């Protein structure tokens, strides 16, 4: 049993329908949830990743602390009962957790395999966690490892080159619907990074105009300037629908901002020209029932994955290669982790001491053939007691709790290992 548990817990686009994900998505930013997690005792280190496709927590917990339920409750709140939550959730430990993190970082777990956005999101999440002092030596090491792994995958495989991002998928669909995008107008609702990316892609395809709607007009004006488009206030949303063809929505709104009836009412004025809605917001911005209107096409972020599936096979080969790199790095990390883990160190230390004591005891006893069995046992007990007493303080030192969740156990482990001359090799053979 390791000295601490690495636990990865989360929901993503594969396991969890968007209806559930949008109840979890942390739209208020990282600060609040990170602060809330601090209250869970037994958590040594943690970090939180929240993107449109996943919410994941990577935790380092005390081995005996049963924190899973508390964290699940934190994630799902009271809205979803615990046993139901378990169906949507993945809960991984130790090596599997590390493997999953690496898969995510390498963009192998992404909806669009090979897309580069995830690394940036990972780094941002880490920055937040580090600033709040939530990460410790283990997570620092683990996350930095995942960054370098992502880089390695990118350079050693061609997975990024044929990667299609969500925005690319959106362009593909738009072309399937409109054919030529040259005289089409795009409406951006809200100003997320993803939406901007998609708009950029569409501009690259030669769309006629980009119109930006935002709650704060100043932000809309800024963004519109970038695309040489125009900004309008959010009150004009429905009127704008008469002129535009492609709508990309990514607001932070918690409710639906565009309802079926509103869209239906403009279709007549549009002479039924098709409307293509892309909803990349989680929680969703657009009424899912829009799809029921003739000549209206609505895709939310999950649907876009299907489009991406079409180009998947080319990437599969590269994904296998990348998967191998992930496996390799997982193993390497595992070795390193075992090297710094507290429990194996304690075991190694005890073993070494016991061996020394036993060795010296045997040597001494062989020179004293005349003593009785009772004396032998007394001597052995003495040796044992000496070992135990010598080890007492180092073990206390190793096992000691660090304050405020900040954990410097790997420093301690390294120190003890050097002090007592414990090499990683002899430890590597032991498994937890």
Contact 212, 230 (CB under 8 A): yes
Please pick, among 52, 61, 150, 263, the residue that the annotation labels catalytic: 52
Mark the segment that binds other proteins (CB under 8 A) among 124-132, 144-152, 272-280, 359-367.
272-280
- Nearest distance, CB of residue 155 and other proteins, angstroms: 30
- Nearest distance, CB of residue 274 and other proteins, angstroms: 6
Task: Tell me the site size for other proteins, rule CB under 8 A.
Answer: 23
Mark the segment that binds other proteins (CB under 8 A) among 157-165, 252-260, 267-275, 406-414.
267-275
162 touches other proteins (CB under 8 A)? no
Strand 43-50 and strand 54-61: the pairing is antiparallel
Q: Closer CB to other proteins, residue 128 or residue 184?
A: 184
Specify the DSSP class assigned to residue 255.
S
Query: b or e along 241-274 (b: 16 or more beta carbons within 10 Å of the residue's beta carbon)?
Result: beebbbbbbbbbbeebbbebeebeebbeebeeeb
Contact 277, 298 (CB under 8 A): yes
CA 111 – CA 311 distance, rounded (Å): 12
Which residue in this structure is represented by tokens 């990460």? 135
- Nearest distance, CB of residue 216 and other proteins, angstroms: 33
Q: Which of 274, 321, 352, 432 binds other proteins (CB under 8 A)?
A: 274
Q: Which two tokens stand for residue 329?
A: 């790095």
- Nearest distance, CB of residue 30 and other proteins, angstroms: 32
423 touches other proteins (CB under 8 A)? no
Cis peptide before 283 (omega within 30 of 0): yes
CA 37 – CA 26 distance, rounded (Å): 13
306 touches other proteins (CB under 8 A)? yes
Residues of this chain, 171-190, that bind other proteins according to CB under 8 A:
173, 175-180
268 touches other proteins (CB under 8 A)? yes
Alpha helices by DSSP H, 281-402:
301-310, 312-340, 342-366, 373-399
Packing angle of the helix pair 342-366, 373-399 (nearest 10 deg): 160
Q: Closer CB to other proteins, residue 147 or residue 178?
A: 178
Mark the segment that binds other proteins (CB under 8 A) among 168-176, 248-256, 312-320, 418-426.
168-176
DSSP bridge partners of 195: none
Is residue 52 annotated as a catalytic residue, yes or no? yes
Contact 113, 159 (CB under 8 A): yes
- Nearest distance, CB of residue 212 and other proteins, angstroms: 25
Residues of this chain, 360-389, that bind other proteins according to CB under 8 A:
none
307 touches other proteins (CB under 8 A)? yes
Q: Which of 151, 273, 324, 335 binds other proteins (CB under 8 A)?
A: 273
Q: Which two tokens stand for residue 115?
A: 């897309």
Q: Closer CB to other proteins, residue 266 or residue 380?
A: 266
Q: Which of 57, 299, 322, 342 binds other proteins (CB under 8 A)?
A: 299
Which residue in this structure is represented by tokens 């594969």? 14
Binding site for other proteins (CB under 8 A): 173, 175-180, 268, 270-274, 291, 294-295, 297, 299, 303, 306-307, 309-310
Residues noted as catalytic: 52
């Amino acid at each position: 049993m390791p000295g601490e548990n690495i636990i990865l817990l989360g929901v993503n686009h594969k396991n969890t329908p968007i209806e559930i994900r949008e109840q979890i998505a942390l739209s208020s930013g990282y600060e609040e949830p990170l602060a809330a997690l601090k209250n869970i005792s037994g958590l040594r280190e943690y970090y939180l990743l929240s993107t449109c496709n996943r919410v994941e927590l990577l935790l380092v917990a005390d081995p005996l602390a049963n924190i899973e339920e508390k964290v699940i409750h934190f994630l799902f709140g009271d809205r979803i009962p615990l046993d139901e939550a378990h169906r949507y959730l993945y809960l991984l430990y130790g090596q599997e957790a590390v493997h999953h993190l690496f898969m995510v970082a390498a963009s192998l777990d992404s909806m669009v395999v090979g897309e580069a956005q995830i690394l940036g999101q990972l780094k941002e999440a880490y920055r937040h966690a580090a600033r709040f002092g939530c990460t410790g030596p283990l997570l620092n090491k683990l996350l930095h490892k995942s960054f370098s792994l992502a880089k390695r995958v990118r350079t050693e495989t061609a997975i990024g080159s044929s990667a299609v991002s969500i925005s690319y998928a959106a362009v593909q669909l738009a072309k399937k619907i409109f054919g030529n995008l040259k005289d089409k107008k795009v409406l951006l609702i809200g100003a997320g990074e993803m939406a901007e990316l998609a708009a950029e892609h569409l501009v690259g395809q030669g769309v006629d105009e980009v119109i930006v709607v935002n709650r704060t007009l100043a932000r809309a004006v800024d963004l519109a300037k970038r695309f040489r488009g125009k900004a309008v206030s959010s009150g004009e949303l429905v009127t704008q629908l008469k002129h535009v063809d492609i709508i990309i929505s990514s607001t932070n709104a918690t409710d639906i901002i565009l309802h079926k009836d509103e869209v239906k009412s403009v279709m007549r004025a549009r002479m039924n020209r098709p409307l293509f809605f892309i909803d990349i917001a989680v929680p969703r911005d657009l009424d899912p029932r829009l799809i029921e209107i003739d000549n209206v096409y609505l895709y939310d972020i999950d649907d876009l994955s299907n489009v991406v599936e079409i180009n998947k096979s080319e990437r599969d080969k590269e994904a296998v290669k990348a998967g191998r790199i992930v496996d390799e790095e997982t193993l390497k990390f595992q070795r390193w982790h075992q090297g710094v883990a507290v429990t194996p160190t304690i075991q190694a230390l005890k073993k070494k001491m016991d061996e020394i004591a036993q060795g010296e005891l045997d040597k001494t006893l062989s020179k004293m053939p005349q003593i009785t069995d009772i004396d032998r046992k007394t001597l052995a007990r003495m040796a044992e007691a000496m070992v135990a007493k010598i080890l007492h303080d180092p073990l206390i030192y190793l096992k000691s709790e660090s304050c405020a969740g900040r954990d410097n156990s790997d420093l301690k482990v390294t120190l003890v290992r050097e002090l007592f001359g414990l090499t990683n090799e002899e430890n590597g053979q032991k498994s937890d």
